[in-house]
Chain A
Amino acid sequence: MDQLLISTRKGLFSARRTARGVWDLEAVSFLGDNVSLAMQDPRDGTWYAALDHGHFGAKLHRSKDRGATWEEIGVPAYPTPPEGHVERDFLGREIPWRLMRFWCLTPGLASQPGLLWAGTLPGGLFWSEDLGATWQMVEALWNMPERRKWAGGGADVPGIHSVVVDPRDGNHVVVAVSSGGVWHTRDCGKTWSAHTKGMRADYAPPELVEAPESQDPHRMVQCPGAPDTWWIQHHNGIFRSTDGAMTWTEITDVKPSVFGFPVVVHPKDPDTAWFVPAIKDERRIPAEGRVVVNRTRDGGRTFETLERGLPRSWAYDLVYRHALDLDTTGERLAFGSTTGSVWISENQGDDWITLAEHLPPVHAVLFV
């Protein structure tokens, strides 16, 4: 895939690989606007861009000509709370029933034309049957009493950042919540259950360490070619499932750090996955000022730390949960940082080239 979309605080940038094999920035859409993320629908090639205007709210745009022109489409609406109802999280902080930001856009399967899913802040899941023109809230998840135990993780309010549709069954949808665990539906949203056995949240009070709602998955991915294998980069470390995201095994002893935000998995090889480690909680910076990528090829038993072409000192780039991508061939990787750097590898991370060093803060990258 020869094009990369880079969603940033100040626009959606596009880079392209030239015939000589050089990557260059070539265009920008929404210059000056905060673009939270982009998505390409594999069913029809349409691009979607989620904007967060701050003053003017979250918006959604789509392009049917690969970014040459965009049209604004519908956005989800939260239900009207009962009169006088003020919702608070379990720490007593107010949670507005109002769309604050798109955090994930996921297309349905080829057998589900028109279906899109959107994960949002605060803690909402919506679906559209008309390619985003109109949206409905998945009320069964929103009304679930356990949702009240979700809390802010990656933002001040809880949010759904990963929505995965099982390629074998479009009614089986799994969402990951920061912070609120991993939830499955097998009837396209009517009923939900948490499956976090094996996860551990050391940051929670002792009696809540294993509670589903305490878990803070930062990003969750499924191996398309081996769909029973799932990976999670969790606040507490790396977890892997080989039984369809029902139970999880913790992977420890990862250098330089088991903390981070993003994870990607090879499209065919479930044992091969990549992470961008960072020092956790108190600092959130690369260890020793070195930007590195971790790769496992054996299901997490061992990791290689990849750094050829990446900055080896005085670098404080943090990489958020949607800012690492792998193309569909499983060969090319790209990641972008909060300090506006973007790197690309064409050999599974062995070697990296710098695509950009002065972009606005990067929220997400996507090969298209």
Chain B
Amino acid sequence: MSRVAFTRNLQRHVACPPCTVEGATVQESLEAAFALYPRLRGYVLDEHGALRFHMAVFVDGVPVADRRGLTDPVSAASEIYVMQTLSGG
């Protein structure tokens, strides 16, 4: 079970405390988190399932390489952080 945590700025719009999920990839893990918080999906991903331009996902401190398909692997011990990128100062 990997752990997924979301930026505090998201909490203002959708309640999404950290959760533990099953998943072999970032995509599978996020899907499991969206099953818990359905409204969250549209805040993190666009309508095609790609990471929004100003969002970032880190797996164990490393930004995901595949922002479109989110195929980056995760392990049971992984920590996944869903963050905002800094933009606009």
A81 to chain B, nearest CB (A): 8
State which residues 69-99 of A face B: CB under 8 Å.
72, 75, 77-78, 80, 97-99
B70 to chain A, nearest CB (A): 16
Cross-chain contact A57 with B43 (CB below 8 angstroms):
yes
**By the criterion of a CB under 8 Å from any partner CB, how many residues of chain A are at the interface?**
14
**A55 to B44 alpha-carbon distance, docked (Å):** 8
**A75 to B39 alpha-carbon distance, docked (Å):** 11
State which residues 94-110 of A face B: CB under 8 Å.
97-99
Cross-chain contact B48 with A53 (CB below 8 angstroms):
no
Chain B residues positioned under 8 Å from A55 (CB to CB): 9, 52, 54-55, 84-85, 87
Q: How large, as a class, is the contact surface on chain B?
A: 10 to 19
Cross-chain contact A57 with B52 (CB below 8 angstroms):
yes
Chain A residues positioned under 8 Å from B43 (CB to CB): 53, 56-57
Cross-chain contact B42 with A75 (CB below 8 angstroms):
yes
A366 to chain B, nearest CB (A): 23
Cross-chain contact A98 with B84 (CB below 8 angstroms):
no
**Interface SS majority for chain A:** loop
**A72 to B87 alpha-carbon distance, docked (Å):** 25
**A171 to B88 alpha-carbon distance, docked (Å):** 43
> Whose C-beta in chain B lies nearest to the C-beta of A51?
B13
Digitize B46-60: 1 where CB-to-A-CB distance is under 8 Å, 0 elsewhere: 111000101100000
Digitize A56-72: 1 where CB-to-B-CB distance is under 8 Å, 0 elsewhere: 11010000000000001
Cross-chain contact B39 with A72 (CB below 8 angstroms):
yes
Cross-chain contact B47 with A98 (CB below 8 angstroms):
yes
Cross-chain contact B52 with A78 (CB below 8 angstroms):
no
The 4 closest A-B pairs by CB, nearest first: A77-B47, A56-B43, A55-B54, A55-B84
24 A/B residue pairs, CB under 8 Å, sorted by A: A53-B13, A53-B43, A54-B87, A55-B9, A55-B84, A55-B85, A56-B10, A56-B42, A56-B43, A56-B44, A56-B52, A56-B55, A57-B43, A57-B46, A57-B52, A59-B13, A72-B39, A75-B42, A78-B48, A98-B46, A98-B47, A98-B48, A99-B46, A99-B47
